[in-house]
Amino acid sequence: MKKGNAIKIVLIISIVILLSLISFVGIYVKKTNQYVNLIPNYNLGMELGQKRVITLKVNEGKKTIYFDENGKEVSSIPEGEDESKYKKEEVEINPKENLNEENYKKAKEIIEERLKNIKVDGYAIKSSKKNGDIVVELPNNDNTNDVVNALTPTGKFEMVSETSGKVLLSNDDLKKATVAYANGQTQSGSQATNVYVIVQLNKEGTKKLKEITNTYVETNDEDNNTTTNNTTTNNTTSNNTTSNNTTNNNTTNNNTTTNNTAKESGKVILRLDWPNMYTGNIEYTDVTTQAFDSEIKDGKLQLSIGTATSNEKLQDYYNQAMQVTSILNSGLNKIEYKIDGNEILGTEITQMQINITISILIVLFAVISIALIVAYKGLGILGTIMNILVIACLSIFVRLTNVVIGINAVPVVISIIIANTIIMIKMLESMKNSDNKKTAIWHAILESLDILVILLAIAIVFTFTLGENIAAAGMIMFWGIISILLTILVFARPMFLAVNKQ
């Protein structure tokens, strides 16, 4: 019996050590010739790290637009067309009728929606009702530049005919955009991951896309070269006859290709507005130019972002795909902005203040540990180990769920350690004063539920009724309660019973 208890104690301590190592060190695996930590880094709030302050101003510049012979606006003059047939006009990028309080408010909401879609934590956003200026504060990290690129595009989406410039699809046809992956191979045979953006069109857009994919099609000529034409029909005849030429040939029963549908020809261009990397101005970017090899009935457009052979490249393509989806899903911004300021500011809390806070936490933990050991000797040492386990579990949960850690986390962590210590003291006291140790421990745990209920109520209030920084503290408290329950029920209870039997 004693040997079995000793094995149980060693096993529990080994698991505690393993979880502590995972929490404070991580889990490293080798991927594409590099070691990657599967446990994410801590997501520090702006007050604990650098922050980026982006100032957005309404673009007061002008742009050139083109009109065809019929007075219809086109995106650009089609290649090879006579430019003299098109009227060129300089217009305000932001028409005066769009510059109003309603559109300023909507612009702020759209930018905030994009930040939420990209899953940016700990941001702050302010806007001016008078002139529409917007100031965005972001945690400064490796992904901040990608986030900044998603702030200024208006979100304009168009599919146009390459030859005529006719708009075939627009924002009115959009329903939702999502990120997708597919396993593949490079030309050399290496394993790779393809990253896509799937654009799902609404009911009307789905009908339009079905017609488009039956109009702009790929065909093969006699030399098996791919060409792009309008919809074709093939008929079998006794000679090689086309709609333009007739040739004599000894071979019979060949195909006749007749161009019966003359809607449009050539390819389509899918465009998004995007900031120019050199000027910062919003410009149309051709995402893809293509014809279609089959009819698309489900209203889904697949946009290839890139093919990655490394985790670093995969993350880059994922960030780009998230930018595109966040912009498309947030709606069309009627006001175009430009970046007027891009500053990196240091932490609001000095390093000395951080060091003092850490020192206070260490001293508090040491005092609690010494008190437990003096009062309960060996069981007190195990109680200290259980406190370490609570912190380790809390750390893992917070990192895996990407909870923002701010200065508000300090009192939360202190309350979690104190609550766990009180519950363990109740367990040890009940065991000391009772002959039935199992019943005594369960009785102590049930008596301690009021502590956890109070903490849970505070966590709910913090998470759902107050500001974003307080909400993050509420989530930390919630995961702290889960950590306490896991530690008490799975590790501390069997550990105390096994040591008592020894």
Share of the chain above pLDDT 70, in %: 80
**How many residues are given for the chain?**
502
Judgement on whether residues 340 and 394 belong to the same structural domain of the protein: no
Q: Give yes or no for residue 252 having a pLDDT over 70.
A: no
pLDDT tens-digit readout, 10-38: 888 888 889 888 888 888 877 655 667 78
Judgement on whether residues 205 and 322 belong to the same structural domain of the protein: yes
Average pLDDT value for residue range 86-90: 83
pLDDT at 31: 64
Indicate the pLDDT class of residue 390, thresholds 50, 70 and 90: very high
To the nearest 5 percent, what fractions of the chain are helix, strand and coil? 45, 25, 30
Please return the burial class of 498, using the count of CB atoms within 10 Å of its CB with bins 0-12, 13-18 and 19+. Answer: buried
pLDDT at 75: 61
| Residue where a domain stops, chosen among 322, 345, 368 | 345
CB 144 within 8 A of CB 138: yes
pLDDT at 483: 94
Judgement on whether residues 108 and 34 belong to the same structural domain of the protein: no
In the 8-state DSSP scheme, what is residue 292? B
| Residue where a domain stops, chosen among 345, 379, 394 | 345
Question: Closest by alpha carbon to 317, among 176, 153, 180, 112?
Answer: 180
Total count of domains within the chain = 3
CATH number at residue 462: 1.20.1640.10
Judgement on whether residues 394 and 252 belong to the same structural domain of the protein: no
Judgement on whether residues 436 and 378 belong to the same structural domain of the protein: yes
Question: Closest by alpha carbon to 110, among 373, 370, 416, 331?
Answer: 331
Judgement on whether residues 206 and 237 belong to the same structural domain of the protein: no
Q: Which helix (H) or strand (E) holds 113?
A: helix 101-117
Two structure tokens written together for 158: 């168009």
Indicate the pLDDT class of residue 233, thresholds 50, 70 and 90: very low
pTM of the entire predicted model = 0.60
pLDDT tens-digit readout, 277-301: 444 455 656 677 778 888 899 999 8
Judgement on whether residues 188 and 254 belong to the same structural domain of the protein: no
pLDDT tens-digit readout, 401-449: 888 787 788 889 999 999 999 998 988 888 887 778 888 889 888 988 9
Q: How far is CA 298 from CA 308, 328, 444, in A?
A: 27, 19, 60
pLDDT at 112: 92
pLDDT at 277: 45
Judgement on whether residues 201 and 55 belong to the same structural domain of the protein: yes
Q: How far is CA 376 from CA 6, 12, 90, 283, in A?
A: 19, 19, 83, 71
Residue 124 main-chain phi, psi, to 5 deg: -140, 145
pLDDT tens-digit readout, 118-157: 888 778 899 998 899 999 998 887 788 888 888 988 888 8
Which tops the pLDDT comparison, 354 or 461?
461
User: Who contacts 88 (Cβ-Cβ below 8 Å, separation ≥6)?
Assistant: 64, 65, 66
Q: Give yes or no for residue 230 having a pLDDT over 50.
A: no
The 3 state secondary structure assigned to 386-419 is HHHHHHHHHHHHHHHCCCEECCCHHHHHHHHHHH
User: Who contacts 313 (Cβ-Cβ below 8 Å, separation ≥6)?
Assistant: 306
The counts of H helices and E strands in the chain are: 12, 24
CB 38 within 8 A of CB 27: yes
Half-sphere exposure of 73 (CA within 13 A, CB side): 6
CB 152 within 8 A of CB 138: no
Q: What are 386's strand-pairing partners?
A: none
Please return the burial class of 317, using the count of CB atoms within 10 Å of its CB with bins 0-12, 13-18 and 19+. Answer: buried
Judgement on whether residues 398 and 495 belong to the same structural domain of the protein: yes
Q: Which helix (H) or strand (E) holds 385?
A: helix 378-400
Range of the domain at 485: 2-44+350-501
| Residue where a domain stops, chosen among 330, 345, 360 | 345
pLDDT at 260: 40
End-to-end C-alpha distance for the chain, whole angstroms: 9
CB 184 within 8 A of CB 194: yes
Judgement on whether residues 272 and 254 belong to the same structural domain of the protein: no
pLDDT at 165: 72
CA–CA distance, 382 with 244 (Å, rounded to integer): 92
pLDDT at 224: 46
Indicate the pLDDT class of residue 468, thresholds 50, 70 and 90: low
CB count within 10 Å of CB 407 equals 16
Indicate the pLDDT class of residue 251, thresholds 50, 70 and 90: very low
CA–CA distance, 323 with 146 (Å, rounded to integer): 7
pLDDT tens-digit readout, 310-324: 887 888 888 888 888
Q: Using the structure block, give the residue that is written with the tokens 């200026």.
A: 133
Residue 108 main-chain phi, psi, to 5 deg: -65, -45
Dihedral Cα 446, 449, 450, 451, nearest 10 deg: 130
Alpha-carbon torsion 494, 496, 500, 502, what sign?
Answer: positive
CB 58 within 8 A of CB 335: yes
The mean pLDDT value of the chain amounts to: 80
Lowest-confidence range among 51-55, 265-269, 441-445?
265-269
CA–CA distance, 177 with 296 (Å, rounded to integer): 17
Q: Give yes or no for residue 470 having a pLDDT over 60.
A: yes
User: Who contacts 308 (Cβ-Cβ below 8 Å, separation ≥6)?
Assistant: 192, 193, 194, 195, 314, 316, 317
Judgement on whether residues 20 and 147 belong to the same structural domain of the protein: no
Q: Give yes or no for residue 250 having a pLDDT over 60.
A: no
Judgement on whether residues 360 and 497 belong to the same structural domain of the protein: yes
Query: E strands, 38-127, where?
Result: 43-44, 51-58, 62-67, 73-74, 87-92, 124-127
Q: Using the structure block, give the residue that is written with the tokens 């083109």.
A: 66
Indicate the pLDDT class of residue 53, thresholds 50, 70 and 90: very high
Indicate the pLDDT class of residue 329, thresholds 50, 70 and 90: very high
